[in-house]
Structure 1
Amino acid sequence: MRQVLERGWTLTFTHPESGETMTIPAQVPGNVIADLHRAGVVPDPYFGLNSAGLRIWEFVDFEYRTGFRAPETEPGERLELVLEGADTVGEVRLNGDLLGELDNMFIEHRFDVTGRAAAGTENRLAVLIRSAVNAARKFHRTPDTFTLAYNYEGLYLRKAGHTYGWDIAPRIVGGGLWRGVFLEQVPADRWTGVLLYTTHASKQLAKLVLDWNFETAAERLTGFGARLVMKHGESRFEKQFRIDFTSGRTAFEIADPHLWNVRGHGDPALYDVTLELLHDGETVAVRRFRTGIRTVRLDRTESLSPGGDGEFRFLLNGEPLFVHGSNWVPAEAMHGEARDRIRRDLELFADLGCNMVRCWGGGVYEDHDFFDYCDERGMLVWQDFMLACQLPPQDDDFARRIEAEATAVIRKLRNHPSLALWCGDNECDEAALWSGGGERFPSANRITREVLKRAVLANDPDRDYLPSSPYLTDSAVRLGNTGNAPEQHLWGPRDEYKGDFYRLNTARFASETGYHGMPCVESLKKFLSPDHLFPKTDDPEYLIHAAQPYGDPSGPYAYRIKLLLDQVENTFGSVPRELDKLVAASQAVQAEAVKFFIENFRFRKWNKTGILWWNVIDCWPQISDAVVDYYYEKKLAYYYIRNVQQPVLLMMGEPASWHCELRLDNNLPGPAAGRYRVSDLLTGEEIAAGRYECGANCCTGLGAIRVSSGKHRMHLLEWEVNGEWKCSHYLLGHTPYDLDYYLKCRDAILSKLNIPLAGAE
């Protein structure tokens, strides 16, 4: 039984300028900065320069207060106070007495309040959230650690890294009770740990293992048993077995199982699981959850050979899976706010045809609702642990805290069938190349090579673990050669999107790559002042909303505005002076770039096995690589990506020896066949036509078309799938292109795709 504590909260603090003690209403779950804005204490943190003014609030402590009446407990029950998420450092008091300390944003905190929370009378609860910046002062950083310019305050704290400022998020340190607070009546008999996983999956037979732990007040462990029931539709499996101890394991088989699959490969079949703890024939505890019968394996080599041989591919139910997906950043920069954005953001991933979501290590571990959605929609989840772009501390205290965090998170999420992989961090192996002092090789990172690996093996032994993304060997770091890693983050110079870096990349799998695209004019007007709408490299408003904290033109992320303008100039020969035309040009560059990145990988299937581009949607209003802005306005790239991530795709390769090769990729689990044709998009002149046949999950060549790279031409590619015609396009010729010609072609493409032009501007 749970009693949710979500009403009647207040927030008390000392104003950093006036010195006045203030108390305002608080929202739980929520964020203190959002509470300050709702109370009129600070202006909208998402508009103009306002986020820079939050610096003075980083040194303020906040106290949440509320009252509640506790429920009556049954004999043998405990009453626990649960904080599902507290950001980050603080303490909890009940009726003036200290219950305990807070020190980790990512995990829940439980406090036994049995006998301390009085039933029938008002209890006073106070949660102090200390300044995270001040709390970090107590740590003595050693020179073997490193992180990004604005993130040293967070190096030792377990708080979302992006809150200090990142190249994709604002500096809004904030804090608060960002997940639910409730009282829970904990019975004496209960399951304390349940893990159900699949070791073999085929259409004929599945082999599963159930691992369990439970607590009981019984003096003797006699007369105990368990009943496991798994249901999917009309299918029902039941197993009843004897239990002689509070922990154990049982293996079993299910004939003709319904397998869980990703989008486009079959039904993501889910089983409703009921596990009853029996004592002398009576049910004394029940655990209910959903799971899927499937196996996921990561087949990888540590590096590529000098000849380019190597592997990084996912196997689902024993079959290789070509991955097409994107990176997940927090749905909201101020954690605890706008929880409805999570599902809405995931719906964009599903609409785009993604079969994998990578949860990036600079954010947070999402909750069950996130994974439930992915379970239901057939989207795999690559889960980073929350370490990013740093050489983390190696001391025993930090290692202990990381292992406790990982253990809690793994035990919470491990039964979700969508969870494909645990990854130790984001770009911490690469950080060894950036730190600029001494030799620090990846193998020396005990956090990812020992601590997290041990936590995964202990708590989720059948799931794969990747120490870092990208994973680098010591020799790769010694030689400065990230190109021999099978899995890579393809950022590079961010120059010509068909340049050698992107076109000739050696990655088997790309887990990050992206390109800038401006939001639409109407969105810009919502977060920039009227006289700051046109981008300038020294404009502090633009700088802040291009992820440069404080709008500092000399800061490490200030390059992003010039980069965006350079990409437009490189592609179209000049930067338009009209804002609406600049936005159209910028979105066109982004759309063509990400489309090319995806097609470049599909064209070389199975030499390449997947791409997770960056990224779907922003966590606040900004100019970025996202293909949907914070206000849910879709950029042109959204429509192009959705089109090229469809299961069957006709593509043209890049010119070589006066020809462009035609290839058709089929991601379906069965063969595809039909007609195809290639024509000039604007004139309708037919260039090629024929029939294709392509086996399941493979890519096949369809010949070549003679071309001249000196001629700009937009090709319309059409093909038939089950009697329905699909289409895409290919832009021939070297940059720069004529912008007016391109926009005319864009309009024709969108018309072919039945997308209103207003939806792509």
Structure 2
Amino acid sequence: MIKVSHHSTVNEEKAVLSDWKFRQTEGEEWLPAKVPGCVHTDLLKNNLISDPFYGENELDLQWIDKKDWEYEASFDVPAELLNKNQIEIVFDGLDTYAEVFLNDEHLLSADNMFRSWKANVKPFVKEKGNVLRIHFKSPIQTDLEKLEKQGYNFPAVNDHSEDGGVGDKNLSVFARKAPYHYGWDWGPRFVTSGIWKDVHLRGWSEARIEDLSILQKNVTASEANLTALVEIEAEEEGERELRIQTEEIELIQTVQLKRGMNEVSLDMKVQDPKLWWSRGLGDQNMYEFIAEIRKDGSLVAGKTTRTGLRSIKVIREKDDEGKTFYIELNGVPVFAKGANHIPNDSFVTEVTLERYRHEIQSVVESNMNMLRIWGGGIYEYDAFYELCNEYGILVWQDFMFACSMYPGDEAFLKNVKAEAIENVKRLRNHPSIALWCGNNEIDTAWSAYDEDGGWGWKQQYSKPIQDEIWQAYEDVFHTILPEAVENHMPGVYYWPSSPMSDWTGDSRQHTSNTSTSGDIHYWDVWHGLKPFEEYNHHVGRFMSEYGFQSFPELKTVESYAGEGDMALDSKVMLHHQKNGRGNYLIKEYMETYLPEPKDFPSFLYMSHVLQAEGIKTAIEAHRRKKPYCMGTLYWQMNDCWPVASWSSMDYYGRWKALQYYVKRSFRDITLSIDGTNRTKIDIHIISDILSDMNGSIRMSLSTFDGTLLREWNESFALKSNSATKFVTLETEEVIENRDPNNIVFKAELELEGEIIDAKYHYFTSVKNLSLCKPNLKIEEVSTSSGKHYTLETNTLAKQVYVTSDLEGIFTDNYFDLIPGEQKRIEFLTRSKDQGFTKGIAEGIKVHSMSDFIKE
């Protein structure tokens, strides 16, 4: 018999089914299974397959998705639950094609990973010896039939069908499951099946509250006008009392319930609300709302929810240069600083609360305020959004469609509609949700209103099929999804596709790298082989994607490759690079910008520096153009397996150089030095805080051995929430015919006697700098507040890289150090329950770029 985790709320009993077994349907023996989980992870836990992430093992595991699988649980029902009038079984997530049987009675058929499923089991359940069986049909075999019926292939450029042994057949578009399961240009192909969220029995009598949502109609600092939306399921009709309360407010209303599902709304006002703010702008205040149903004074049912009160809008207004695209929070224009988020694992049930907390705390440590939940993954678990609420991280939420065209048959559209409504309703109480977006890159890929535009997709089809495919697109992204948002999360902005210039229904809809409206994905750097300097010349209103790759650090590479694989062109290294020529692109860019690394571990280090320098160029170009540009979200924050990719933090949560660079470039008040034009230096000051400031900039010129050549100060006044060019310096006047390969310019921003930012500028490419091997010293210092580390050098130490044997991060890393300066850093360990905590590093090693250069 399985263990049943038993929970009780007001007049409602819940039992979670937690012990399972599974087998391949073709008569194989039963084996223990972990639920939530999937077939791949269960096979691994039973030692029946090798580590999917090691070497080229991925290719040997493609047989799994061609088979049918069964999961089974036997259980007893607690008396308290069995005695309830209503008993149903609820599946929070089934992946994906499933037939469910209880005691040999067919309960339901499931066909959408992103939906929950439930069935009445009162007639079938018994006190002892119940057997629940779930038959998972192969998603590949199921969708091969759909493709044959369709008669033609849909575009799906990231569907690694050849790796999956199905030739050129793009099957991902037919299944409502995570698109990245079929492969991507940073991820493997593991098309999973299994029970990916909890299964539980739910028993109740008389009535229960299915949902409590707080719709925010108008929120200001003086008053919040809200509507509490309560979904009540009742056994019988009758008059009941509905109570809603939060803090000092309690509202009571008599409601007439009918049998079945009821939707009751109750308007309420909160005076002088404590507003929810994104990180950097204010506190993340949250309110708890309690709904209760009473009959004759007795409590019948109750439910609690938490939300933050805020006004959030996407402002799109015509101006002299086009049309704005920015988020306004509580009346304040917000410059969005952040990254794109993908699922943290190829097997999403392996993601723990600690891993989520590590990611979100890394976001906070990096001075970000937004993540884009990209449309090729999953609608994240509730815990992810709760952490975003807690830490003040805004969420750009895609629906789960990416880089593909989709069918438009009635069953598919009906399924999508149910999925959209359920997920909008599930997420609508989270104050972090800033906007919903229909899909990733499909509008621009198809470019319906530009005959020669797009990615060459539509040109593959006859005109009637083009029209059929585009009609399906419009049904989903211009009708079903916006209606789901408007009807169930009114007031929150819907944007059909990212990137897009405008929603016009003509050629003005599609974006380009020069669009002055909408959002832009700029990929000419990397995919287009353009130099980093091009980031300065292609700045749109909201930069929602751009990126550059690096390898993970050596410790991570050693988790998937052996000593004989440590070469750029080894089979394993090429397999853990899903972007075609990616490894060689890194090498080509490195040859342009950096010295030649002495060996493969040095190449890994140099790839970190290269990526960080490129994305720093982009981020600061975007921030300098505020308020024309009001958002910069680089690709990508994280990884789903250990791999060479665009991430700033690898699969194990280890920070690359980029994450440290981002932390510096995203400071709420920062300096930015633009030296794109070698004949001059533009120094900019950028502020995202909501108060004016006065301060000074200290500028200096030094040789690499620390000799101070000149130093001067200039004061400034800066308006709140703005960016300005502080000064332009002529390069020749600054360096005065000195050797540009041996001098460094430094600018420090001082406010109220404190240096809050410092930036360095070199007058030639890093590969040309006259770097000597420094004598780096690090000292551990104990104070009343704990330990920290100070570093000093005798000559310029470029890209100082500090490591520890313990998992964690330093408060700064990959920084430059000049003689006469003392750098102070702290070590933050990863704590399972608390995230980052101040700690003591063990096995510290200190390197600089000169240690990795080929002599």
Whether the TM-score (by the shorter chain) exceeds 0.5 is yes
Mapping 1:684-723, distance limit 5 Å: 684-707=708-731, 711=740, 714-723=744-753
Q: 2:771 aligns with which of 736, 741, 757?
A: 741
CA distance in 2, matches of 1:182, 1:724: 56
TM-score (norm 2): 0.81
CA distance in 2, matches of 1:755, 1:649: 21
Residue in 1 that maps onto 2:825:
754
1:355 Cα shift?
0.9
Residue in 2 that maps onto 1:559:
581
Residue in 1 that maps onto 2:638:
617
Alignment pair present for 1:273 and 2:286: no
Residue in 2 that maps onto 1:409:
423
CA distance in 2, matches of 1:300, 1:144: 37
1:281 Cα shift?
3.4
Residue in 1 that maps onto 2:29:
22
CA distance in 1, matches of 2:172, 2:348: 16
1:716 Cα shift?
3.0
Q: 1:269 to 1:498 in 2, by over 3 A?
A: farther
CA distance in 2, matches of 1:597, 1:481: 17
Mapping 1:29-48, distance limit 5 Å: 29-48=36-55
Q: Any idea what SS the aligned residue of 2:559 has?
A: helix
1:472 Cα shift?
4.5
CA distance in 1, matches of 2:509, 2:847: 45
CA distance in 2, matches of 1:692, 1:730: 19
1:365 Cα shift?
0.6
Q: Any idea what SS the aligned residue of 2:351 has?
A: coil
Q: Is the 8 A contact 1:46 1:621 kept in 2?
A: yes
Q: 1:462 aligns with which of 484, 487, 491?
A: 491
Residue in 2 that maps onto 1:92:
100
Residue in 2 that maps onto 1:551:
none
CA distance in 2, matches of 1:524, 1:202: 51
Q: Is the 8 A contact 1:727 1:753 kept in 2?
A: no
Residue in 1 that maps onto 2:694:
673
Mapping 1:95-174, distance limit 5 Å: 95-119=103-127, 121-139=128-146, 140-141=149-150, 143=152, 145-148=154-157, 149-150=159-160, 152-174=170-192
CA distance in 2, matches of 1:247, 1:630: 43
Q: 1:75 to 1:655 in 2, by over 3 A?
A: closer
CA distance in 1, matches of 2:236, 2:29: 51
Alignment pair present for 1:584 and 2:605: yes
Residue in 1 that maps onto 2:332:
319
Structure 1, 268-277 or 686-695: larger mean CA deviation:
686-695
Mapping 1:163-562, distance limit 5 Å: 163-220=181-238, 222=239, 224-231=240-247, 236-244=248-256, 246-300=262-316, 308-340=321-353, 341-432=355-446, 433-434=454-455, 435=457, 436-437=459-460, 445-472=474-501, 475-476=506-507, 481=512, 483-484=514-515, 485-494=517-526, 499=532, 501-536=534-569, 539-547=570-578, 557-562=579-584
1:189 Cα shift?
1.2
Q: Any idea what SS the aligned residue of 1:269 has?
A: coil
Q: 1:686 to 1:178 in 2, by over 3 A?
A: farther
1:199 Cα shift?
2.6
CA distance in 1, matches of 2:522, 2:540: 8
Counterpart code for 1:169: G
Q: Is the 8 A contact 1:585 1:739 kept in 2?
A: no
- Deviations along 1:512-535, whole A, 9 cap, x unmatched? 111112211122111112111121
Q: Is the 8 A contact 2:56 2:575 kept in 1?
A: yes
Structure 1, 131-140 or 576-585: larger mean CA deviation:
576-585
1:99 Cα shift?
1.2
- Deviations along 1:157-188, whole A, 9 cap, x unmatched? 01111111101211111221111121112443
What CA RMSD, in Å, does the superposition of the two structures yield over aligned residues? 2.7
CA distance in 2, matches of 1:57, 1:179: 20
Counterpart code for 1:240: I
Counterpart code for 2:755: W
Q: Any idea what SS the aligned residue of 1:737 has?
A: helix
Q: Is the 8 A contact 1:10 1:24 kept in 2?
A: yes
Structure 1, 488-497 or 78-87: larger mean CA deviation:
488-497
Counterpart code for 2:139: A
- Deviations along 1:626-673, whole A, 9 cap, x unmatched? 111112221111111111212110111234483222111111122233
1:71 Cα shift?
2.8
Q: Any idea what SS the aligned residue of 1:522 has?
A: helix
CA distance in 1, matches of 2:508, 2:332: 33
1:244 Cα shift?
4.2
1:142 Cα shift?
5.3
Q: Is the 8 A contact 2:293 2:302 kept in 1?
A: yes
CA distance in 1, matches of 2:499, 2:672: 28
In structure 1, list runs of 5 or more residues that go unmatched. Answer: 548-556
Q: Is the 8 A contact 1:200 1:206 kept in 2?
A: yes
Q: 1:686 to 1:133 in 2, by over 3 A?
A: farther
CA distance in 2, matches of 1:251, 1:759: 61
Residue in 2 that maps onto 1:634:
655
- Deviations along 1:561-595, whole A, 9 cap, x unmatched? 1112112112126x434112212211111111111
- Deviations along 1:20-44, whole A, 9 cap, x unmatched? 7233221111121121122111111
- Deviations along 1:295-329, whole A, 9 cap, x unmatched? 1101126xx99x74221100001111111011111
Query: Identity across aligned pairs (percent)?
Result: 27
Q: 1:284 to 1:309 in 2, by over 3 A?
A: same
TM-score (norm 1): 0.91
1:497 Cα shift?
7.1
Q: Any idea what SS the aligned residue of 1:26 has?
A: strand
CA distance in 1, matches of 2:199, 2:749: 54
CA distance in 2, matches of 1:429, 1:142: 23
- Deviations along 1:189-247, whole A, 9 cap, x unmatched? 12234331223333222222223332323433x3x33222113xxxx322223334543
Q: Is the 8 A contact 2:20 2:33 kept in 1?
A: yes
1:387 Cα shift?
0.3
Q: 1:545 to 1:703 in 2, by over 3 A?
A: same
CA distance in 2, matches of 1:33, 1:144: 28
Q: Count matched residues.
A: 735
Q: 1:532 to 1:75 in 2, by over 3 A?
A: closer
Residue in 1 that maps onto 2:681:
660
